Structures are given as structure tokens and as C-alpha cells.
Amino acid sequence: MYNKHKMYKGGPSYKPFSAFIFRVSILFLPIIFAVYGILVQVDVINSTHEVTNLELLLIVSLCSCLSIIQFALPSKSNFESALKLIAFHVLIGVYLVFISGVSSPFVAFWLILAVISYARFAELGLQLSIMGYISVVAVNIIYWKELNYAVITSELLSLIIIILTGLIIMSFSKSQKISRKELNISKAQESLHRDRTLTIVNNLSDAVLSTDMDGIIRVYNAASLNLLDTNNSLNGHHIDEVISLIDQNDTPVSLFKECKKLKTVIKRDDLNYTFSDGEEIRLEVTYSPIRSSFSRSKKGETHDGYIIIMRDITKAKSLEEERDEFISVISHELRTPLTIAEGTISNVQLMMSHPDITNEMLKDSINVAHDQVIFLANMVNDLSTLSRAERGVLADTEEIDVRELAHKLYDKYHDEAVKKQLQLDLDISPILGKVKTSRLYLEELLQNFITNALKYTKEGSVKIAISQKDDQIEFSVKDSGIGISKTDQDKIFDKFYRSEDYRTRETGGTGLGLYVASKLSKRIGAKIEVKSRLNYGSTFSFKLPKFGDK
């Protein structure tokens, strides 16, 4: 904030309105001079000085000219102001010496000039004005030698009064200057504090709104507009008009009514906000009363408004629900094989104490327990792979011989296919190059497809096919299993999803396999394609660029 009037170093402000009042008042000075001189001439007022018509006419004329100039031509610079002040000091000094006397009421005019001098030129102006008055008193005593001691004493007293008045004015002015300086420092600190606070609030990711006692929004940050998806100003709108909330039971919640009941800080995370297009988000809302030392209540029992902080926790709540589901599913899937393995091993211990139990019977039970342990190991491996993929852990890339990788996978799963009386085929193009990617992620991805194919194929075959098409190498796993319905094909890559098909439910699983596969494919820059028809099998494929191909 800047003052409109000019400021002078060391002195108080000399406002345009004050200057105008002075210019108007000065017009009456010649009239006062003339009336007083005439009253002295006709002996209505006693004076120690003899006033002649010529002296009175000359002084009044000069005073009239100076007053008119001061009124018609306001000073535009300090130099002009100084000249006019000197002229008025000389004029009044002459009037005091030759017309009214130094101890007359006209001393008040000199005092006014002293105040104006200080206002315009600070201490220097006041000091020169007082020195001028001392000179006037000295000239008066020297010029009127016949003055008695009573008159001289009176004039010296008036001089003392002028000096004391000047000192008092300077003292008050300095005190005011100090107060103004402290006030300006306080305002600057408050402004800096406010700017810092606003900067912090505007850079918060949480939406922050402040309302008055009636719920009208007065302050808000940029995050509020982002959260509410609007560019319209919120200032002046009622909080319930801007933010319409519902709880988990779809019951409307009035923020203003909630705030009115406040006695302390309240936080809720069960509120939803719906956009105009129907999209709904979950909000964490914290609201609190604003209390200050300038509260409306003298005892501070009421407050000056409310502060509301909102955060979008839709994703966090979704992750929380996924976590709960994850724990539930994993707990169930872990419990089943552990129970079977523990029970089987307990039976083996009992069977070993009976001499009529054959080794084949023991071997079958141990194999059952072993299968459950393998299932647990695979599940832990899936969880470990999922953790790496979701955390974005970068695996080392290397040149991979595709033909060698295909034979390795074929050899690994051939025995399992034979055990299930399935035919495992390997179809590889005669000419295959190399790919450069993460061996760990690529193998995990292909193993997921192969194990799924073996799991959901009761009879027929599973084929691992790798072929080169232009500068791409295509990997695919095709089975003749139960297939996937059109409705399920959009969901099979979701975490924990398992089809409701009874044939799917006959096999164990966590619903993580294809979800992990989708994550791994993104990590190596591939896109999974699915071709499937219910009861006619499925084909999962993806492509990678051939390494070294120009």
C-alpha cells in the first residue's frame, strides 16, 4: 500500500487537503490584519505601538498579494514552498514589530507557520522558524527602546512559549514517526507472513477452503479447483452449493451443518463426491473451526469461520480394498495346500508304524504332499515376480537365443504334459534370431502361459510356437482346453480374477497368473493378444523386436 500524498524525509505527511485548507484560510489574513490595525488606531485595542495609515496600508496590501498568490498558485516544488514560507514569516514578523506587538494574539500566526514549516521541512524548518521568531523579538526590543520591563517580560514569555511549543511538536512528531515505523514494520511482517502462508497453501496438493461463519467461501487454493474439476471462482459461494457430499449409505451430508456442530478438529474418510458426468470419488475431509484473538465473542466462545481440507483417497481406498482381498485370497490358498501337506505327512508317519503298509502306498502319500509343496513354491514365486513387476524393479537385459529358450521350456514341461496325457508340441521357424530383453521376465511370462494351458486342458495338446515376422519375433502358446468366454476375456488380466466356470473352479489357483503376465509384458515392452472360444481352446501371444535387425 502506498500513500497518495507526498512524504518528506523526517517530517509528517503534508496532505493535499491540509494544504487546501491553509490556502483558503490565508485569504482571511489581510482582513484580520486590517481590522486589528484599525481597532488599534481608534483606541479600541490598547497597543504599545503607534500605527500609521501608510504602514497599515502597505502591510495589508503585501499580505493580500501574497495570500492571493498562495491560493491561486499552489506550490509545485520545495523551493516554491520555501520562498512563500519565508515571505509569510517576514510579513508577520513586520506586522508584529510595527503593528500589533510581539506579545499580541498574532503570535498564534507565527506558531501556525512553525507547524507548517515542520510539516514541510521537518526539524530544519521548525528550527529556522523559531530562530526567526527570536530575531523578531530581538528587533522589537531594539527598535522600541522605550518599552517597559513588563512588556519586555511578556515578549520573552511569548518567545519561551513558542520554543516550548516547537519542542513539544517535535517530540510528538518523533513519537508518531516511531509509531508509524513500527506499524509499517508490523504491516510488512504481516504481509510477508500472509504471502508465505498463501504460497504454502497454494502449493499443497490437498484442497484447502476457508469459509466465514455463514458458510460462504472466502479463501481457497488452486488444488480446490483441481479436485472439483472447475475453473470457476468459488469465492462468495456457499460451501454446500459447491461441494455436495454423500456418505457410504448414500445419505446427503451438509458440510456447513457438520461445521456448525464443531468443537474440535474432525476427520472423515467415508464421504463421496459426484461430478456432473456421474464419476464418483472418495474423499478424506478434515474440517475445523477458525479461532483468533479477534473473535466475535469477547470470551472467545465462538469462532470466525471454518477451514476445510479435502483429499482424493479413491486410489488409496481401492488399494486398501485390494490389500484386504489379497490377504483373504492368499490366506485361503496357503491354508489349503498346507493343510493337505500336513495331513498327508501325518498319515505317512502313522502308516510307517504298520508293517502291512507297502512302499507304494507311502510313495503315493508323499507325492501328494510334494505336489502341495510345489504348489506353494509356485505361489511364492508368483508373488515375488508380482512384487518386482509392480515396484518397477528393472531386470538386467541380455541377448537371448530364442531357439535355445524354446527347447529349454519344452524340456521343462514335457514330463508334466505326459503325466496329464497331453501332447506338448514345439513349433519353431527354421530361421530365428535373438531378442534383447530381461531373461527372467520373458521366461516367467512364457511359463505362465504354458502352466495355464496345461492346467486348463483336459485332453488334446498344448503347442509352443515361435516364429519370425519381418523384424518381429512372435511368441505364442496354444491349447485345446476349455477356452475363455467373451465376457471373461476382458477380465482375465485383473488381479485375483477367476472365471465362474465350474471347470475353472475345479483347479486351484490364486487368480494372479495372468495378472502377473500382464505386468511382465509391460516391463519388457510387449502387448499380449488373446484369441479364445469357449470349449475350443485359447491362444496367448506377444511380439518382441528382433535384436540386431536393421
The answer, as to whether pTM is greater than 0.85, is no
Q: What is the pLDDT of residue 2?
A: 28
Comparing 41-45, 290-294, 545-549, the range with the smallest average pLDDT is 290-294
207-312 has which CATH code? 3.30.450.20
Which residues, 6+ apart, have CB-to-CB distance to 252 below 8 Å?
244, 245, 246
Rg for the chain, CA atoms, rounded? 50
Please tell me what DSSP assigns to residue 48: S
Higher confidence at residue 213 or residue 349? 213
Label residue 246 exposed, middle or buried (CB < 10 Å: 0-12, 13-18, 19+): middle
- Residue-wise pLDDT tens digits, 296-343: 444 444 567 899 999 998 887 777 776 776 677 667 667 777 888 888
Q: What secondary structure, in 3-state letters, does 369-410 show?
A: HHHHHHHHHHHHHHHHHHHHHHCCCCCCEEEEEHHHHHHHHH
Short-list 84, 88, 64, 86, CA closest to 75: 84
| pLDDT above 60: residue 241 | yes
Confidence of residue 411 (pLDDT cuts 50, 70, 90): very high
SS3 (DSSP) at 470: coil
Whether 29 and 67 have beta carbons less than 8 Å apart is answered as: yes
What is the spatial distance between Cα 154 and Cα 193, in angstroms, rounded to a whole number?
A: 58
Write down the domain spans for the chain: 16-182, 207-312, 319-388, 394-545
What single-letter amino acid sits at 444?
E
| pLDDT above 90: residue 134 | no
* Helix, strand, coil % in the chain, rounded to nearest 5: 55, 15, 30
| pLDDT above 80: residue 511 | no
What is the spatial distance between Cα 483 and Cα 467, in angstroms, rounded to a whole number?
A: 23
Average pLDDT, the chain: 80
Whether 217 and 242 have beta carbons less than 8 Å apart is answered as: yes
Mean pLDDT of 148-154: 70
- Residue-wise pLDDT tens digits, 49-82: 666 777 778 878 887 888 888 777 877 788 888 8
What is the spatial distance between Cα 243 and Cα 241, in angstroms, rounded to a whole number?
A: 6
The DSSP bridge pattern shows strands 529-532 and 472-479 to be unpaired
What single-letter amino acid sits at 143?
Y
Q: How many CB atoms lie within 10 A of CB 373?
A: 14
Comparing 189-193, 234-238, 411-415, the range with the smallest average pLDDT is 189-193
Cell of 287: 474440517
Mean pLDDT of 80-92: 85
Short-list 229, 280, 290, CA closest to 259: 290
What single-letter amino acid sits at 240?
D
- Residue-wise pLDDT tens digits, 4-30: 333 333 344 445 666 677 677 777 777
CA end-to-end distance (rounded Å), the chain: 69
Q: What is the pLDDT of residue 383?
A: 74
Q: Which fold has domain 394-545?
A: Heat Shock Protein 90 (3.30.565)
Whether 56 and 34 have beta carbons less than 8 Å apart is answered as: yes
Comparing 387-401, 413-427, 529-543, the range with the smallest average pLDDT is 387-401
* Entry field: residues in the chain: 550
319-388 has which CATH code? 1.10.287
Q: What is the pLDDT of residue 339?
A: 83
Whether 374 and 345 have beta carbons less than 8 Å apart is answered as: no
Q: How big is the CA angle at 251 (ends 248 and 254), to the nearest 5 degrees?
A: 110
Cell of 208: 484447502
Cell of 35: 481590522
Whether 227 and 310 have beta carbons less than 8 Å apart is answered as: yes
Q: What is the pLDDT of residue 539?
A: 94
Whether 477 and 529 have beta carbons less than 8 Å apart is answered as: no
Higher confidence at residue 383 or residue 10? 383
SS3 (DSSP) at 207: strand
What is the spatial distance between Cα 546 and Cα 535, in angstroms, rounded to a whole number?
A: 34
What is the spatial distance between Cα 3 and Cα 193, in angstroms, rounded to a whole number?
A: 22
| pLDDT above 80: residue 144 | no
Higher confidence at residue 409 or residue 65? 409
Residue 534: phi, psi to the nearest 5? -55, 130
What is the spatial distance between Cα 367 and Cα 345, in angstroms, rounded to a whole number?
A: 10
What is the spatial distance between Cα 343 and Cα 351, in angstroms, rounded to a whole number?
A: 12
Whether 209 and 234 have beta carbons less than 8 Å apart is answered as: yes
Mean pLDDT of 257-262: 86
Q: What is the pLDDT of residue 9?
A: 38
- Residue-wise pLDDT tens digits, 472-497: 999 999 999 888 888 888 888 877 66
Label residue 240 exposed, middle or buried (CB < 10 Å: 0-12, 13-18, 19+): middle
The DSSP bridge pattern shows strands 538-545 and 472-479 to be antiparallel
What is the spatial distance between Cα 426 and Cα 410, in angstroms, rounded to a whole number?
A: 7
Q: What is the pLDDT of residue 463?
A: 95
What is the spatial distance between Cα 149 and Cα 103, in angstroms, rounded to a whole number?
A: 13
What is the spatial distance between Cα 297 and Cα 194, in angstroms, rounded to a whole number?
A: 24
| pLDDT above 70: residue 222 | yes
Matching fold, domains 319-388 and 394-545:
no
Comparing 136-140, 148-152, 375-379, the range with the smallest average pLDDT is 148-152
What is the spatial distance between Cα 464 and Cα 411, in angstroms, rounded to a whole number?
A: 12
| pLDDT above 90: residue 464 | yes
Q: What is the pLDDT of residue 363?
A: 82
Q: What is the pLDDT of residue 417?
A: 92
